[in-house]
Amino acid sequence: MKNKQFQKDYSMAVKACEVLDDNKAEDVSLIDVSYMSNLADYFIIATANSTVHNKALVDKIEQAIEEMGQKVIRRDGLSEGRWTVLDYGNLIIHVFTQELREFYHLEKIWNDGKNVLNMQGVTKLKEQSIKDNQEDVQKDN
């Protein structure tokens, strides 16, 4: 079983993806960079359809993750709303407008073809994690 910090970081990443998806962010990607970088374990990259939408998405993410007991360590880019970065330590979230996401194309930097999940993949992994946890509980009883 994975350590508690990993589970907490993964839970925050999934929650952030769900918040983005629920609030109409486009092309939400969760990237596991833990084996490639010391910067973080996860990157999330999403597209907002405007600067106002970007700011609203960031507010929703911060609220949801704060409810999980974690505050943002650093936030950058919110004043312009074209590329906002939220740093939660082992989770870094990038919310772009379409033109900047296409220009910087961060997925290309961090993608080795195996580590990027779209929302459908995040949902499947979450369902599998829940199933695995239920099986662990049954084994312990």
CATH number at residue 75: 3.30.460.10
Dihedral, CA of residue 49, residue 52, residue 57 and residue 58, to nearest 10: 130
- In the prediction, which pLDDT does 124 show? 67
- pLDDT one-digit tens code per residue, 17-47: 999 999 999 999 888 888 777 888 889 999 9
Beta strand 91-97 with 116-117 is unpaired
Residue 113 has pLDDT above 50, yes or no: no
Rounded to two decimals, the pTM is: 0.80
Residue 70: pLDDT band (50, 70, 90) is very high
Question: Would you say the C-alpha torsion 107, 112, 115, 116 has a positive or negative sign?
Answer: positive
- Assigned token pair, 44: 């999330």
Q: Which domain holds residue 124?
A: 4-140
Edge to edge, the sheet with strand 42-48 lists 74-76, 83-87, 91-97, 42-48, 26-32, 116-117
Q: State mean pLDDT over 2-10.
A: 65
More confident residue, 37 or 50: 50
Which distant-in-sequence residues (6+ apart) come within 8 Å of 25 by Cβ?
46, 47, 48, 53, 57, 95
* Domain total in the chain: 1
